[in-house]
Structure 1
Amino acid sequence: MEIKELTTEQAWREAYKVMRQLRVHLDESGYLELVKEAVEVDRYHLAALYEGMKMVAVVGFKPMTTLYYGRFVWVCDLVTDEHSRSKGYGEQLLKFVHQWAEQHNFSSVALSSGLQRQDAHRFYQKRMGYSKVSYVFKKEL
């Protein structure tokens, strides 16, 4: 098992095969456009976990600073390939993000999760030690 940061368009393209299972609203070209902009503008990082030569899970995250959280890392995307779930890959990727955050002097890691994703909520709270601290609100414009 190996985790690698993905820094090229070709690597991002490879990650789309897994990411599209979470971000079903994005086609490949829209996904690539957003990843490129997020990397350039928001310091977005994309990393993948490989089992042998096969990419089985991906995580997207970015460092942020706000008055509420201070310096923290926001997990934007976390998904394991549907054929590789329940093997601890999500846990390994979150641990990778935690280590990255500590190495870069960030004090916490935060994320949001869709209201319907009850299994994910149990995973974040019980297995990974996250606390439910707020609701996220969104208004379409």
Structure 2
Amino acid sequence: MKVTRLTTKDQWLEAFPIMRQLRTHLDKASYVILISEAVEKDNYRLYALYDQQEIVAVVGFKPMITLYYGRFVWVCDLVTDNINRSKGYGEYLLNYVHTWATDNEYESVALSSGIQRHQAHRFYEEKMGYEKVSYVFKSK
């Protein structure tokens, strides 16, 4: 297995079919525009996990500093291809993010997960040792 940072439009598009499984509201054009802007303005980083030369999972994150969390990494997107779930790919990528955070002197890793995503919550809490610390609210 190999983790690779995706930095070009062609690489982002290669990851789109997997990202779309999580971000179903995006089409290719809006996906590329949003990633491009997030990379430029928000230090967003997109990584893919390859197994046998095929992308099996992707993670997008950004290093941040807030008064609440201090120096931390916010995981914006984490998705494993539907046909490759429960093979340890999500755990592998999330551990990669934790290592990146430690290597770059960030204290912790945080994320939010949709209320309906019960399997993901079990994964974060039981397998990865995350704890619920807040609710996320969004206005329209």
Per the normalisation by structure 1, the TM-score is 0.98
Structure 2 residue identity aligned to 1:35:
I
In the alignment, which residue of structure 1 is the partner of 2:3?
Answer: 3
Structure 2 residue identity aligned to 1:78:
L
Structure 2 residue identity aligned to 1:136:
V
Per the normalisation by structure 2, the TM-score is 0.99
In the alignment, which residue of structure 2 is the partner of 1:67?
Answer: 67
Q: Render the CA deviation track for 1:22-76: whole Å, top value 9, x for unaligned.
A: 0000000000000000000000000000111110100000000000000000000
Q: Give the unaligned 5+ runs of structure 2.
A: none
Structure with greater proportional helix content: 2
Separation in 2, partners of 1:6, 1:55: 11
Identity %: 64
**Deviation for aligned residue 1:94:** 0.2
Separation in 2, partners of 1:21, 1:29: 16
Separation in 2, partners of 1:45, 1:117: 23
In the alignment, which residue of structure 2 is the partner of 1:78?
Answer: 78
**Deviation for aligned residue 1:17:** 1.1
**Deviation for aligned residue 1:122:** 0.6
In the alignment, which residue of structure 2 is the partner of 1:91?
Answer: 91
Separation in 2, partners of 1:35, 1:15: 12
Q: Count the aligned residue pairs.
A: 140
In the alignment, which residue of structure 2 is the partner of 1:116?
Answer: 116
| Structure 1 moving runs of 4+ over 2 Å | none
Q: Give the unaligned 5+ runs of structure 1.
A: none
In the alignment, which residue of structure 1 is the partner of 2:43?
Answer: 43
Query: 3-state DSSP class of the match of 1:63?
Result: strand
